[in-house]
Amino acid sequence: MTRSITLVQCARLVPLIRQRTLRSSSATFFTLGASSSKSEMSVRTEVEDIIAKNDIAVFAKSWCPYCRKARGILDSVNTEGKTVKIVDLDKMDEGSAYQEYLNKKTGQRTVPNIFIHQQHIGGCDDLSAQKDEGKLQALIDAK
């Protein structure tokens, strides 16, 4: 059974398609320079500050199961005396810009994107492997 779309229904879809395109295309996002967006340099500075000022920095999304697993792994190790910053990108106006910068910096588009003592660890599987190999606590305690 096929279903036809009326011209009115099609007209309603166009803004939604445009909105989705803006969210998924960072090049368009920066080119259009939405009034609420920060400059790429500002985003870079903010991300680098988060990484530099915290012993552990995790860029995540609140709904992501891999991000939840990474949080659980970090909760299971001793982080006493360490600064741990978890940034939920989906709860930020500039979350997509942060994620795009992290992709440029690390080559990793997915979340969680994890740094320990400014060293890029990778994602949840990488963090889990570090723990399974008995290296995670030593990495956290290194500084």
| Distance, first Cα to last Cα, the chain | 64
- Average pLDDT in the 55-73 region? 99
Fold of the 38-141 domain: Glutaredoxin (3.40.30)
User: pLDDT value at position 143?
Assistant: 81
Percent of the chain residues topping a pLDDT of 90: 71
Q: What is the mean pLDDT of the chain?
A: 84
Which residue would you say has higher pLDDT here, 51 or 17?
51
- Average pLDDT in the 113-122 region? 99
Does 113 score more than 80 pLDDT?
yes
CA contacts within 13 A on the Cβ side of 127? 27
- Put simply, whether the predicted model's pTM sits higher than 0.85 gets the answer no
Q: How confident is the model at residue 9 (pLDDT cuts 50, 70, 90)?
A: low
DSSP assignment letter at 15? H
